[in-house]
Copies of this chain bind each other. A is one copy, B any other.
Amino acid sequence: MNNMGIPIPSLRRLLAYYRHLKSASQKGLEFLSSGDLALAAGTTPEQVRKDFSFLPSQGRSRVGYPTQKFAEIIEDYLGLMNDKEAVLVGAGNLGRALALYPGFEQVGLRIVVLFDNDPEKIGNKVGDLQVLPVDALPSLVERMLIRIGIITTTADAAQAVADAMVAGGIKAIWNFSTLRPKVPDDVMVRNMDLSSELIVLSHYIRSLGAQEPPKSLDDDLDRLEQAS
């Protein structure tokens, strides 16, 4: 009932702080203030301090946050060094791009196999990774105790894929299709609809166009800006 648990936006910001702390530490900078971090992460010093209040460590008044130590604290808190295995279904352009995306390594994610139902794709390799038929997914996922699944198929295949993932014991699904798969309550789905992001950008542009003559609608800009 009471609010245990860190808000999702804080979680994401912590990753941004982590990157900045680490790079500062590598440059030999020993401390960063909440103001420095806010600047790098596109937020406010108050927000940084609030976010840091979820961590099991404190900064130093008048000095700031020790870069190396806090990079480690966040690394720990977010579990960045834990090896997290995932499977990806849908070996199209987007699926392949994600399979080869270099940034995932830095957060400890490793995609271990791809799946697809296109006979043309099955048996191919994407980087080091094999492409297997979707049939093979549940047992492989179960055997390897994989908990994360990524869906980059078309909408019409997505529900069947999600079902297969759930059958194999996957608990967190990152869904790039436009369908919202139905899953049991204990499975988290994060829907990443790329088109809807563009709608947001295009809506902003239209609002600019409409409001250019009347001039300066700062309130509206602020409102749109803030929700990154």
Contacts and interface: CB of A to CB of B under 8 A. Distances in A.
A109 B202 contact: yes
Q: Which of A6, A94, A100, A227 neighbours the largest number of chain B CB atoms within 10 Å of its CB?
A: A94
Contacts of A197: 12, 174, 190, 192
Contact of A101 (B19, B82, B194, B221): B194
Q: Which of A193, A198, A203, A218 neighbours the largest number of chain B CB atoms within 10 Å of its CB?
A: A198
Interface in A158-208: 171-174, 178, 180, 185-186, 188-208
Number of copies: 2
A78 interface: yes
Interface of A: 1, 4-6, 8, 11-12, 14-16, 19, 40-42, 78-79, 82, 84, 93-94, 96-98, 100-101, 103-104, 106-109, 147-148, 171-174, 178, 180, 185-186, 188-208, 218-221, 223-225, 227-228
